Structure 1
Amino acid sequence: MVDTHAHLDDPRLSKELDAVLARAIDAGVVQVVAIGTTADSSREVVRLSGSRRGVFSAVGIQPNHVAEARPGDWEQVVSLVGEPGVVAVGETGLDRYWDHTPFPQQQEEFDRHLALAADRGLPVVIHCRQCEEEIIAQLERLGRPISGVLHSFTGTWDDAQAFLALGLHLSIAGMITFRNPTLDPLRQVAARIPLDRLLVETDSPYLSPHPFRGKTNEPSRVAVTCARIAELRGLEFETLAEATTRNARGLFRLDAEEVLNRGTPARD
C-alpha cells in the first residue's frame, strides 16, 4: 500500500519516525507521501523525503495557514518544488469550516498553487472542507483537466462525479471506518468510485480509524482503511491494495523500486 497523505513532520510522528515507518513496513506499506502545510513544514518534509527511501513529499501552504504566511514563504515553496523526492504541490485548497484565512485570500492562493503545479507538471493535493461547490467552480474555470487528488474526500456522489470529471483522483481516509451512521453516504460513495481513480490515506496524525479512533494516527493504519473499503466493494484486500498502489504510483510517478527500508538509507 501507499499512504498518499501523512504529516510526517508533525512532532507526534517525527519524534519516533523510525519506529513509525517500521510499523508501516510491517503492515504492508511500501511508500508514503509526506505533506507540507506551511513553508517550514514543506522544507521539513522535503528533508525527510531526501533522507529516507520510500518517503516522498508534497510542498505548499494549506488554506488555514495562508493568512499567517510570512514574506518570502511562497518563494520558498517554489524553490522546494524542484528538490529530490518532491512529487506534488500542496496541500492547498479551500476551507469554510475554520475561519483562519479570509476566503478570497484562500481562493487566490489556491489559484497560485494550481498554476505552479501546472507549470512544473506535478499533481496537486487538494484540501476541501465544506466547500465542494466552490472548489469545483474554481477548477472548472481553468478549462482543463486537473492532475491531482481530492484528499480525505467526504462529499456526496454528485461531488465525486464532478471531481472525477475534472480529472482528479479521490482519496479515502480513516473516517470510512467510523461507526457513526451519518457516514453511511460516504461509505456508499467509496463503494462507487472507479477503481482506477481511488487512493487511500491516513492523514496522520489525524483521523485514526476504528478501533484506534482518538489515538495518534500513523501510516501503518492505512491498512485498516484499505480493508474496510475492500469490504464495502466486495473485493479481496490484496486486490484493493494493489489497485490503489498502482493508482498512487501512476499519479505521483513514484518509482516502484524505491520503497521503505528499515533504518534511514538516503535516496540515491
Structure 2
Amino acid sequence: MWVDSHCHLDFPELAADRAGLIARAQAVGLQSMVTISTRVRRFDQILPIAADNPGIWCSVGTHPHNAHEELDVTVADLVRLSAHPKVVAIGEAGLDYHYDKSPRDAQEQGFLTHIAAARETGLPLVIHARDADDRTAAILTEEMGKGAFKAVLHCFTASEALAITGIELGLYVSFSGIATYRSAQNLRDIAARLPADRILIETDAPYLAPGKFRGKTNEPSFVVETGKAIAEARGVSPEEMARQTTDNFYRLFAKADRAQVLAAD
C-alpha cells in the first residue's frame, strides 16, 4: 500500500474530478493522502475534503507565498484549528527565495509561528524550502534548540547538506515526481543515502507530475512512479519501498489513524 504525503485536493485542477482521482488512487493501492493547506483563511474549504473521506487527512497553515497575507494568524489560531481529528499536520510553511512572492521577513515570521504551533501541538510541520537552504537550516537548528518538534522537508530539491541537517535534527525528507526526471540524478543519489526510516514520497499534485506523466495534471495515484524511482535508486523492490514509506508516514503523521483507514477498505 502506498501513501501520498502531500497533495492539494482543494486546488481547481483537482477539485473538478475529485471523486475520480480518489477512485484511481485506491485502484493503485493508495491507502492515505494528506491534502495540504496553503491559506488558513481557506481552511474551511480543505477540512470537508478530509472529513468526508476515511483515507484523506489535512493540514492547517500558510504557504510562504502567502505569508504576508496572513501575518495575523497566531500560534493559538493554528493550535485551535488543528484540534480537529482529521488535521494531522501544521503547514505548509517555510521559505521560498526562488519566487519571493512574499517579503522574506514575512516568510520568516510565518515560519516561526508554524514551528511554535508544531511544537505545542506535537503535530509535524510540513516545510517548504526553495533556494533558501542556509537560512532554513539555521532557523531549524536554532528553533530545535528551543524545544523539539517534528517536521518534514517536503518536495525536496535542495542540497544534500540541508538533507543531512534535517536528518540530524530528527526530520523526514519527502521526494516528489521531480525525482523521476532524467535531470534529477542528484536527488536520487541523495535519496539513496538517507536512512530508510526517514524517507517519504508525495505528489504535490496538481503540480510536478512524474516523468511518465509529465505535462499532465498530477494526481495522487501517480505517487507510485516516484516510489518506484526511489526504490530503484536505493536498490530495493517497489513493494519494500511502499511498505517503508507507508510505515514512515504513519510514524510521522501519528494522528492519522491507520486502523480507521483499514477498517474503511
Q: TM-score, normalised by structure 1?
A: 0.92
Post-superposition offset of 1:260? 8.1
Q: What is aligned with 1:206?
A: 207
CA shift, 1:73, in A, is: 8.4
Distance 2:134 2:127 in 1: 14
Counterpart AA for 1:158: A
* Higher RCO (CA-CA < 8 Å; seq separation 6+): 1
8 A contact 2:75–2:117 mirrored in 1: no
Q: Aligned residue for 1:156?
A: 159
Is the aligned partner of 1:140 residue 2:145? no
For the residue of structure 1 that corresponds to 2:213, the secondary structure is coil
Q: Does 1:257 align with 2:259?
A: yes
**Compared with structure 1, are the counterparts of its residues 214 and 75 closer, same or farther at alpha carbon in structure 2 (3 Å cutoff)?**
farther
Corresponding residue number in structure 2 for 1:101 = 102
Deviations 1:90-109 (A, max 9, x none): 00011101122111111111
Please tell me whether the aligned partners of residues 172 and 199 of structure 1 are also in contact (alpha carbons under 8 angstroms): yes
Task: Give the whole-Å Cα distance in 1 for the aligned partners of 2:260 and 2:59.
Answer: 17
- Between 1:43-52 and 1:223-232, the stretch displaced more is 43-52
Q: Deviations over 1:8-58 (max 9, x none)?
A: 101111111110000001111100011000023332221211111110011
Deviations 1:115-150 (A, max 9, x none): 011111111000000001101101111204431100
Long gaps (5+) in structure 2: none
Per the alignment, do residues 79 and 108 of structure 1 end up closer, same or farther by CA in structure 2, a change over 3 Å counting?
same
Letter matched to residue 37 of structure 2:
G
Q: Please report the RMSD computed on the Cα atoms of aligned residues, expressed in angstroms.
A: 1.9
Q: How far is 1:79 from its partner?
A: 3.2
Structure 2 match to 1:243: 244
Q: When the two structures are aligned, how many residues end up with a matched partner?
A: 261
Please report how far the alpha carbon of residue 74 of structure 1 lies from its aligned counterpart in structure 2 after TM superposition. Answer: 7.5
Residue 50 of structure 1 contacts residue 85 of structure 1 at CA under 8 Å; is this kept in 2?
yes
Partner of 1:188: 189
Instruction: Please name the residue that 2:179 is paired with.
Output: 176
Find the residue that maps to 1:259 and give its secondary structure. Answer: helix
> For 1:261 and 1:5, how far apart are their aligned partners in 2?
23
SS of 2:54 mapped into structure 1: coil
Letter in 1 for 2:152: V
SS at match of 1:222: helix
In percent, how many aligned pairs have the same letter?
39
8 Å Cα contact 1:33-1:57 kept in structure 2: yes
Give the Cα–Cα distance (whole angstroms) in 1 for the partners of residues 45 and 235 of structure 2. 39
Report the TM-score when normalising by structure 2.
0.93
Task: Find the counterpart in structure 2 of residue 28 from structure 1.
Answer: 29
CA separation of 1:232/1:70 partners in 2, compared to 1, >3 Å: closer, same or farther? Answer: closer
Do the aligned partners of 1:226 and 1:241 also contact (CA within 8 Å) in 2?
yes
* Structure-2 separation of matches of 1:241 and 1:73: 37
> Is residue 24–residue 219 contact of structure 1 (8 Å, CA) maintained in 2?
yes
Structure with the bigger percentage of helix? 2
Instruction: Determine helix, strand or coil for the equivalent of 2:215.
Output: coil
Matches of residues 12-161 of structure 1 in structure 2 within 5 Å? Answer: 12-69=13-70, 77-142=78-143, 143=145, 144-161=147-164
* Contact kept in structure 1, 2:71 and 2:109, CA below 8 Å: no
* Paired amino acid for 1:2: V
